[in-house]
Amino acid sequence: MIQKLLPALTLCAVVALAQDPKPNSAPAPGSVSGSVTAAGTGTPMPDVEIYVNRGGPRVGHAVTDAQGRYVLRGLEPGQYRISANAPGPGGRIGGGPFAVRQVDLQAGQDLESFDFHLVLPGRIAGKVVDQNKEPVPGLAVFLVAREYVSGALRAVFTGAASTDDQGEYLLERVQAGRAYLVLAQRRYRRLDAISDAPADPRLRRPAVVPTYYPNSRSMDGAQALVLSSGELREGVDIRLVRAPSFCLEGVVEGGSGPADLHFEIGETQPTSGTSGNGGFYSTQPGGTPGPDGKIRICDLHQGDYELTVHQYAKETFGAAPFFGSTVVTVADRDVQNVRVIARPRIPLAGEVVWDGPAPDPPLDAKLTLRLQAITRTERGSVDATIPGEFSLPGGLLMDDFGLQVSEVPKGVYIKDITYGGHSILYEPLRLGSAMGDAGLRIVLARDGGTASARVTDKDGNPVPECSIVMIPASAANEATIAAALTTGKTDLRGTWTSASLAPGKYFVLATSDTIDRSPESIAKLWASRTRAQEVDLNPNATATLTLTPKSLE
């Protein structure tokens, strides 16, 4: 009996040794799977590209099948950024709706039901007619978003279309869930230096006034449109408004002389610029001044205009070495003696300093400063040592810029940013507004606090992909809230931890509603402060919060 058992015992020992993992074996890989559907309808979306860490070293990739399903296999344990990217118009790769989620994958974990619900863009269709209700072909129709930028509310072009021979238009790729205005406007691309419009205003043709839906000559009377996912909004018709025509006379100068200058003119609002997740830039009507630099621009309605002048140079690859602008108000008569000077680029230098004692040993890190002109394509960037001095190569044009500071080290926050001794932490950088050699100063601090939040539903279950909003109690108005708020999204466990923030009181709330910098969204946040949870962030401490999602309505 004993002899019969020995082989069996020996076999069991061999099997046990075979199953026993090696001490230095790599962790078992895992997988992520789920589906991609259209938000609102739940329709499966095939041919959606699923990327792991898109924009960096590709770790994984998949494409959804006819049922909108995907599987990512062979993923080592760790944190990943997984994105779903739907095809654009005509099946073009990119340009379609997308979404990004974070995941912390454990060794050997097969994470299922990691689903995406993509919000599809909408469309707006309508017709533009004149005062006689006749269709107006060849007219520009713009999609306009209002958004807080660097502490000020601005209106920005975000899309465009043209009317056909029946006066009909179709605006595509309209972001769902966000408020937009629709503007019909006649655009003159090329202007003569000296307009041939009659000197007597009574003999001039009426000017075509930019008209907002529904038939308003100002944004104050415009109706905001909010589309749902994939919606086609029809019947957005506009009847153009006409008004008396006025002229502007003046002179442009600077650079190497009038022969090398170019002038442009356009309403101060809306403007080109960035908004939401992208940017839209539209050419303004303009031309070349006469040999004496004189200009006469007509067919202007009442309103505020920005008149700009610039000079390009081949050696700067299209960048303008000279630039100038001024705002002109047209009231009830012609405007004369306007003067605009194209000035050279302005050097920008500054320093990064510590508020309080510097860390010991010093941090081996650099800040990245990016500057983007608020209404133009002018931009620049520079890396700055901590602490240390910096200088922007080539300088910038005299204009208003948004400043973004990134690569802030862990445990550090930006306490203040000054230009010429004036704080611009929540304001634009108005380059050239400081006197003398005043520069940019970035003040860093290490006494910040953090907030650690957990979001659960009414049954205590974690709520992933929920937005967290932190509003400083010191923000005294909606514009400051838009510039100062901190946002984030919970992970699969319903948790989120902020970066280091300035000590003080904050209003904190969790919501599934869309958060952006539009006045509609910021107004809801302002009103929701009374329903938010108050928290005091103490220096070098973490405040722990438990939240339940709330609607901003």
- 3-state secondary structure (DSSP) of residue 533: strand
pLDDT at position 256 is 87
Q: Is residue 535 part of a domain?
A: yes
Q: Is residue 18 part of a domain?
A: no
User: Number of folded domains in the chain?
Assistant: 4
- b/e per residue, 24-35, with b = 16+ CB within 10 A? eeeeeebbbbbb
Indicate if 423 and 456 belong to the same structural domain.
no
pLDDT at position 26 is 79
Host domain of residue 50: 30-118
pLDDT at position 91 is 64
Indicate if 110 and 128 belong to the same structural domain.
no
Q: Is residue 355 part of a domain?
A: yes
What's the pLDDT tens digit per position in 359-374? 999 999 999 999 999 9
Q: What is the CATH number of the domain that holds 356?
A: 2.60.40
Indicate if 156 and 259 belong to the same structural domain.
yes
Percent residues over pLDDT 90 in the chain: 77
Q: How confident is the model at residue 13 (pLDDT cuts 50, 70, 90)?
A: very low
340 DSSP β-pair partners: 252
Indicate if 460 and 511 belong to the same structural domain.
yes
Sign of the torsion formed by the C-alpha atoms of 256, 258, 260 and 265: positive
d(CA 253, CA 259): 10
Indicate if 437 and 504 belong to the same structural domain.
no
What's the pLDDT tens digit per position in 321-335? 899 999 999 999 999
Of 344, 372, 392, the one marking the end of a domain is 344
Indicate if 441 and 487 belong to the same structural domain.
no
Mean pLDDT of 258-284: 90
What's the pLDDT tens digit per position in 77-92? 988 999 999 988 766 6
Mean pLDDT of 283-287: 92
Indicate if 255 and 200 belong to the same structural domain.
yes
What's the pLDDT tens digit per position in 121-130? 999 999 999 9
Q: Is residue 486 part of a domain?
A: yes
Q: Is residue 11 part of a domain?
A: no
Q: What is the CATH number of the domain that holds 95?
A: 2.60.40.10
Indicate if 324 and 221 belong to the same structural domain.
yes
What's the pLDDT tens digit per position in 345-362? 999 999 999 998 999 999
486-489 and 495-497: which strand pairing? Answer: unpaired
Q: What is the DSSP string of 442-499?
A: EEEES--BEEEEEEB-TTS-B-TT-EEEEEETT--SHHHHHHH-EEEE--TTSEEE--
Mean pLDDT of 290-304: 95
Of 344, 365, 384, the one marking the end of a domain is 344
Q: What is the CATH number of the domain that holds 171?
A: 2.60.40.1120
Sign of the torsion formed by the C-alpha atoms of 16, 18, 23 and 26: negative
pLDDT at position 168 is 98
Q: Is residue 200 part of a domain?
A: yes
Backbone φ and ψ of 85, nearest 5°: -125, 105
Indicate if 272 and 382 belong to the same structural domain.
no
What's the pLDDT tens digit per position in 176-221? 989 999 999 988 779 999 999 999 999 999 999 999 999 999 999 9
Mean pLDDT of 430-436: 78
Asked if pLDDT for residue 11 goes beyond 50, the answer is: no
Indicate if 276 and 164 belong to the same structural domain.
yes
What's the pLDDT tens digit per position in 24-42? 577 899 999 999 999 989 9
Indicate if 458 and 437 belong to the same structural domain.
no
Q: Is residue 405 part of a domain?
A: yes
Asked if pLDDT for residue 318 goes beyond 60, the answer is: no
Indicate if 355 and 338 belong to the same structural domain.
no
Of 344, 364, 396, the one marking the end of a domain is 344
